[in-house]
Structures are given as C-alpha cells and as structure tokens.
Chains A and B, each alone.
Chain A
C-alpha cells in the first residue's frame, strides 16, 4: 500500500514564526501536492511538484514556499506564519494522472 506520511498531526506555532511541514511518500511517485482544507472551502491547492527541484504554484501560493530536494520528500514552508494560515494541511502524491494518495493531514494552529 502507498504510504504518505506527514511529520505532525497537530502543530501549534506563533505568528511570525517560520514553519516547516514535511511529507514523505514511499511509492516513488513523480507528483507531490500540498493542499489546505478549510470548512466550506474544500481543498485548495497550494503548490505541487512533478519532479525533484521542480515546483508549480497552485491556486493559493501566497505566503507559502516549497522544497523538493529528494523525490520522496516534499516540504511546505510558511515563511512568516499568520493567523489566517490556521488550517488543515494535506499532502498527496501520485503517478502522473493516477489517483492521488493522501497523508493523514497536519492540523496547524497559528496563535
């Protein structure tokens, strides 16, 4: 079975902090994705990557950056956390146009 592992289930940080969310997949997938999920808004794509060191902006990239130094790892970075970035963050991976496999999510609170 595909395993997508996110480093933390719950995280509490303060405004202005630099926050790192880590995601690792074990199926050699080319594509990796970061979403945020908010009530009433569904899933919104922040960034995705289709290869090592490649990244593409999604629908809501402002305030975020990403890093993909190795194929299996995709990191989401909040450069200077703000309260409006409190959310559930979901990482996913896939082979090209195959269904995406999701991690369990990180519930991030910014105080």
Chain B
C-alpha cells in the first residue's frame, strides 16, 4: 500500500526567508503532483513531475523529484505573504500504467508572516 508523508505539517515562515517542504512516498511511482489550497477554497494544481530528476519552477516555488529516493521537494524562495496556503503532494500509485487516481499527503499548512 502506497503511503505519502509530508513534512513539516505546519510551517511558519518570515517573509524573505527560504524553506523546503518534503514529500516521501513508500513504493515505486513515476508521477507526482503538487497542489495548493487556500483557506475555504478548493485545490489548484501547481506542478506535475513525471520523471527522475524532473524540476519545475513557477515564481518563488520550485519542485523536484527523485524517484530513486522516493522523495519530492517543494522549495520556497524569499517567501511572501501571498504564499500562505496549504500545499499537498499527491502520488500516482499505478507505476507504469496510470488509472489517474492519486494518493495525497496530509498537507503542509504554510503561514508567511511579515
């Protein structure tokens, strides 16, 4: 059974600082997604990582995937208040033949303070 663990689950940052959120998963997978959820809102897709060594960047966020270590990271550079949200990683458990279903981590609640 695939398990997805995120850490930390809560993160309080100061504006301008850098930090990394980690997503570990327990079995082989070749497809990982990052989502963002604002309070009271639904989930929004941020990144899709499809291969070992994949790196995607959007603004102050950069995501990477190491399939051998079964680890993805979401790096935040020079945080700003607008990045305050809950971030989820999600892993496709169907290695080699996706059905589209995902296993989600519990989410990391990020709070960026001035």
Contacts and interface: CB of A to CB of B under 8 A. Distances in A.
A36 to B, nearest CB: 11
Interface residues of B, number: 22
Main secondary structure of the interface of B (DSSP, over half): loop
A99 B42 contact: no
Contact of A105 (B42, B92, B101, B105): B42
A99 B100 contact: no
Contact of B100 (A44, A48, A90, A104): A48
Contacts of A48: 99-101
Interface residues of A, number: 29
A90 B42 contact: yes
Interface of B: 31, 33, 35, 41-45, 48, 88, 90, 92, 98-107
Interface of A: 30-31, 33, 35, 40-45, 48, 50, 56, 58-59, 90, 92, 94-105
